[in-house]
Structures are given as C-alpha cells and as structure tokens.
Structure 1
Amino acid sequence: MPDLTESERQFTSDCVAEFLSYANTDATEQVECIYRSHAFPNSRLVLKVQTKPATYALKIDTEAPDTGRLRDEFDLLTKLNIHFEDNPTTQVIRPVYLSDTNSFFVTEFIDRPTAVDLIYNSTDDDQVAQVFRRAGSWLNDLHSRQLPVSYAFRPKWMTDSISDLLDAVPYEISDQSRRWVNIMFAEAARLKGIEDIRVFSHGDFHGQNLIIGQGKTIGLDFTEAREKLAVYDIVDFLKADIFRGGEASDVDRSGILKRNKDMFFRRYKHPINTEILDFCIRGRLLKDWFFLHQRRHDCSEFEEHKRERLGIRLRQVFG
C-alpha cells in the first residue's frame, strides 16, 4: 500500500474526521491508503475507511477546490446512479458524501476484484472471456445514455504522438519498428475523415475502473467523462488483453485475441467503424511500447513485463 507523508497523514485524518462527523459515527476500525496517482502523486489519493457499520472509499484531490474536478465527478455519479437504478446488471459506484471544500468525496467500497485483477491473474480463459463480455455490456449501457452523433475521425493526434515517442527511443527500437509506423501512417491517411460515432464516454475505461460484482458490473472513476468517439473507451479496455497468452493465429488484425474481442462485442451493439477501432488499438499498443522504451524512462518490474507482452503482440499483428 502507498505510504503517506506526515502532512498527508494530518490532511487525510482531517478528511476522515469530517466524514465520520457527517455519518454520525466515530467507530473507525481501519484507515489505509490504497491508491496514489502516478500522474499526480502529490495531490490525488484514495483511502479505504473501514467503520463498524460499513466500509467506504475516500477519494482526495487537493487541487479539486480550484478545478472543480471532484465536485463535477460527484454530481455525475449521482446522476448515473439515478440513470441505472433500474438496471439489474449495470451499475456505478454509489456516492455518499462530498466535502464542503470539494477536496474529497466518499463512495461505497466494494470488496470485489476489478476486471484487471482477473484479466492479469486468472488462469481460467473462460472466466476472462466472461469479463470481456460483461465489460462490453456495461459500456454498451453507458454509451446508450444519450443519442450518438456522427463525427469525422481525425487521427493526426495519434500519428503526431507516435512520431514524438519514436524520436525518443533507442535506435534498435526505432529501426525494427519503422515498417510498423509506416503502415500505421498510411492507414491513418486512408481513414482520415471517415464518419464514426461520438457518444457520452467514460474517458478512462481501463480495467481497474470496472468492478466485477456478483451479478453486477460496477463502474467508477468518471473524472475524464465527456463526449468523444466511442472507440476510444473500447480501446482503453481491450488493450489489457495483451497480458493473456495466445498464438499469432489467435490474434486478430487489431492485436487483440479474437476470443476476448468477440466476447466484448457479444453485448456491445453500437455501430462503430471496425477499421477505425482496429487502427486505434494498434496505435495504442505501439504508443505504449514506445513509451516504455523511452531512453529516460526506468521501467518497474511490472512495466518490463508489460513491455515484453506489447512486443509480442506487435510482432504478431505486424508480422
């Protein structure tokens, strides 16, 4: 679990005390930090607060009073809970309390595995396939919240990002991947301007933000929610598939195992452009691989494993 500095301990203690006062209880059994943001380590934390009546997640952002980030997310969670209240399988985490300063809020804590826990660690391919099916069903329901609109695909941001990352990798990596990049750029030129659908999107739909409950699939962390192309949420989730084993014949042109991708689309029914989706998945895998080869980036043990898995999939899909 992430460690807290002395100043963070004082601040989080004050947050917990404020919430306990609201909840009219002082029966705290345990408080622990369960998450620290990699991108914003000094301002964004999540605590697990265990009391005798219930266990809660307390989400902190010390910059939120200025940005309104947590206030907006809490408001959206409230609306989504109402929107999905009659849906027996698709749920979002239940909001409980927003601080007066907007620097933290509290939700229920659900002690169930996330989709990533199962995709990364399960030895049962059938169980993992069901995770992909449930994720597709959940996202289909979220993307149905409002009518989709037609929107022209603009791949320049992705090709620019790939170019920038390519400039910062060792020569042997850029040399072996040059053909892959050329394929991607040619495809980007062909797909530019093709119509796809833009929907209300989660915005950060990776597997850690989806809890696999008993009969329910529960989404969380909506700070990046906005309207965008539907394929980007799908890419964020499907890319976790790289941690599953498979032969080249098991992988489709996107770089994802055919079995898991097919299961995702068992319940996801919005009419997306599959060529754009496959292009975006390959682009994301390539970007992640380049990022983990940056000359100034020191990989953790997990990142080294991820880099290896990305390389395997990229070689499988590009040949």
Structure 2
Amino acid sequence: MPTLSQQETHLASAYVDEFARVCLDGATPSFDCIYRSSNFPQTRLVLRVDDGGEAYALKIDTESPATGRLKAEFGVLRELSAYFQANESTQVVRPVYYAPGNAFFVTEFIDRPTAVDLIYNSPDDSKVAQVYRRAGSWLHDLHGFQDPTQMPFWPQWMMEGIRESIRAAGPDIADDTQAMMNIMRADAGRLRGKPVLRVFSHGDFHGLNLILGQGAMIGLDFTEVIEKPAVYDIVDFLKADVFRDVSGQELDRSGILQVNKDMFFRRYRHPIDMDVLDFCIRARLLKDWLEVSGDGYQPTEFEAQRSQHLRRRLRLALTVPVSAG
C-alpha cells in the first residue's frame, strides 16, 4: 500500500475532513492511500475512506484546479451513472461528492476483485471466459452512450511507435522481429483507410478499471474518455489474457485465446472489422513486448514473465497477414 509523506497526509486529512463535514454529518472516518499514479506520483492519489459503515474512494489530483481534469471526469461520471442506472448487469461507480476546490472527488468504494485479478490468477479457464463475456456486455453498453460514426483507419501511428521501440531495444531485437514487421507492414498497407466505427470510448479500458460486482460489471476511472475507433478499447481489454496458459487452448490469429475473444463478442454487438481489430491487437502485443525487452533493459520479475508470455504469443500468432492479399 502506498505511503504518504507528512505533507500529503496533512492534505489528505483536510480533504477527508471536508468530505466528512459535508456528507457524513461531521463523522471522523479513517483513511488509507490505496493508489499512487506511476506517471504522476506527486499529484495523483486515491484514498479509501471508511466511516465504519460504508467505504468511499477519494480521488485526488492536486493539479486539477488548474487543468480541470477531475471536474471533467466527475461530469462524465454523473452522466454515465444516469445512463447505466436502469442496467442491472452493467454499471459505473456511484458519484458521491465533488469538492468546490476542484482538487478531489468522492465515489463509492467497491471491495470486490477487478477483472484483472481473475484473468491473471484464476485457475478456472471457464470463469475467466465469463469475465470476458461480461466485459463485452459492459463495453457494448458504453459504446452505445452516444450515436457512433465512421472514420478511416490510419495505422501509421502504431507502426511508427513499434519502429521506435525496435530502435531503442537494439540490433538483436531488430533481427528477431524482422519477419513480424514484414507482416505488419503488409497489413498496414492493406488496411489503411478502411472505415471503422468511431464511438464514445473509455480510453483506458484495462481490466483494473472494471470491477466484478455481485451480478454486475462496474466501470471506473473515466479520465481518458474520448471519441475514437471502438477497436482500441477492445484491444486494451482483450490483451489481458497473455498470462493465461496456451497449452491445450486454441490461440486466435491475433494472439488472444480464441475462447476469450469469442466470449467477449457474445455480448459486444457493435460492428467491428476483425482484420483491423486483429492487426491492432498484434501491434499492441508487439509494442508491449518491445517495451520490456532489448539491450540494457532491466525488467522486474513481473515484466520478465510478461515478456516471455508475449514473445511466445507473438511467435505462435504473428506468422501470416490478417488481411487478404
């Protein structure tokens, strides 16, 4: 659990006191820090606040009074809360309080496992497949929040990012990925400009942002919402299964276990171009592998395991183009 500095503790206490004064009849709840942003460790935190009867999540961004980040997110959360209200199986965390000072807001805290907890750790493949089915249902509903449009698919930004990662990783990795890159370039050329669905997107739809509630999937963290191709949210979630064992299970051409992908699309029913989706999944898996590989990189134990799993998936899946010649 993250540790707060003395200054952060003082600030957090003031925020908790404000929330308690306004919403908890002046009670004195306890709190702990449960999250510190890896990209913005000095400014972004999440506290778990407990008044003895109910728990809350207090999200802090000390730069938000200037950037308006939390104000925008809380506004989206309120709209989505109303949109999902009638749905029993797909929901979002309930917004509780927005601070007038714009530095924090509060939602309900749900003490349940995330989708990643089960995908990474469950020994039961059938239970994991059900997580994918329920996640597909949740994302289908989110992507229907606004009327979708269409836009041309442009893969150049992904290819440029992969090339930069290969250069940073060194000559051995460049040799190791040459055949893969030839296939990726061929697909990028054939798929460029194809019409794809553009929707209201979560923007950061990994499995830590989806909670397995009792009978419902509950979404959170809407900081990155944006209108963009629907495939990107789908890629963010589907790629979580790289830690699953492929022995005895069929691997999809994208590098995802076929059963998990099929289960996801049982409930996700917006029209998706599967060639574009599979290209994007391959690109993301390749980029993820390159980021924890190469000369001079010292991966953590977790990253080393992830690198091995990703490399194996890519070796098995990225062998022929996804698009027709």
Q: Is the 8 A contact 2:200 2:226 kept in 1?
A: yes
Partner of 1:48: 48
Q: Is the 8 A contact 2:231 2:277 kept in 1?
A: yes
Q: Is the 8 A contact 2:17 2:28 kept in 1?
A: no
In 1, the alpha carbon distance for the partners of 2:310 and 2:70 equals 33
- Tell me the secondary structure at the aligned position of residue 252 of structure 2: coil
2:72 aligned with 1:72? yes
Partner of 2:317: 317
Cα distance, 1:124 vs structure 2 = 0.7
Partner of 2:322: none
Partner of 1:175: 175
Cα distance, 1:145 vs structure 2 = 1.1
In 2, the alpha carbon distance for the partners of 1:107 and 1:300 equals 33
Which structure 2 residues correspond to residues 263-274 of structure 1 after superposition, within 5 A? 263-274=263-274
Partner of 2:184: 184
Partner of 2:233: 233
How many residue pairs match? The answer is 319
Change (3 A) 1:180 1:226: same
One-letter code aligned to 2:69: R
Change (3 A) 1:147 1:239: same
Which structure 2 residues correspond to residues 125-164 of structure 1 after superposition, within 5 A? 125-164=125-164
- Tell me the secondary structure at the aligned position of residue 167 of structure 1: helix
Change (3 A) 1:296 1:93: farther
In 2, the alpha carbon distance for the partners of 1:316 and 1:84 equals 39
Q: State which drifts further: 28-37 or 116-125.
A: 28-37
One-letter code aligned to 2:92: V
Change (3 A) 1:300 1:30: farther
Q: Is the 8 A contact 1:165 1:294 kept in 2?
A: no
In 2, the alpha carbon distance for the partners of 1:238 and 1:280 equals 11
2:30 aligned with 1:30? yes
In 1, the alpha carbon distance for the partners of 2:184 and 2:289 equals 14
2:223 aligned with 1:223? yes
One-letter code aligned to 2:58: L
Q: Is the 8 A contact 1:170 1:293 kept in 2?
A: no
Q: Is the 8 A contact 1:29 1:50 kept in 2?
A: yes
Q: Is the 8 A contact 1:248 1:317 kept in 2?
A: no
Partner of 2:103: 103
Change (3 A) 1:162 1:148: same
Partner of 1:194: 194
Q: Is the 8 A contact 1:248 1:316 kept in 2?
A: no
RMSD value over aligned CA atoms?
Answer: 1.3
- With structure 1 as the length reference, what TM-score do the two structures score? 0.97
2:92 aligned with 1:92? yes
Q: State which drifts further: 302-311 or 184-193.
A: 302-311
Q: Which ranges of structure 2 fall in alignment gaps of 5 or more residues? A: 320-325
Residues 19-40 of structure 1: CA distance to partner in whole angstroms, max 9, x if unpaired?
1111234544531111111111
- With structure 2 as the length reference, what TM-score do the two structures score? 0.95
Partner of 1:10: 10
Share of identical aligned residues, percent? 56
Which structure 2 residues correspond to residues 202-213 of structure 1 after superposition, within 5 A? 202-213=202-213
Residues 36-73 of structure 1: CA distance to partner in whole angstroms, max 9, x if unpaired?
11111111111111112310001111111111110011
In 1, the alpha carbon distance for the partners of 2:144 and 2:29 equals 40
In 1, the alpha carbon distance for the partners of 2:318 and 2:280 equals 14
Cα distance, 1:170 vs structure 2 = 2.9
In 1, the alpha carbon distance for the partners of 2:295 and 2:66 equals 35
One-letter code aligned to 1:103: A
- Tell me the secondary structure at the aligned position of residue 49 of structure 1: strand
Q: State which drifts further: 257-266 or 45-54.
A: 45-54
Partner of 2:261: 261
Residues 284-308 of structure 1: CA distance to partner in whole angstroms, max 9, x if unpaired?
0000111112546432221121111
Q: Is the 8 A contact 1:28 1:49 kept in 2?
A: no
Q: Is the 8 A contact 1:71 1:102 kept in 2?
A: yes
- Tell me the secondary structure at the aligned position of residue 169 of structure 2: coil
Residues 170-197 of structure 1: CA distance to partner in whole angstroms, max 9, x if unpaired?
3222211111112111110110000010
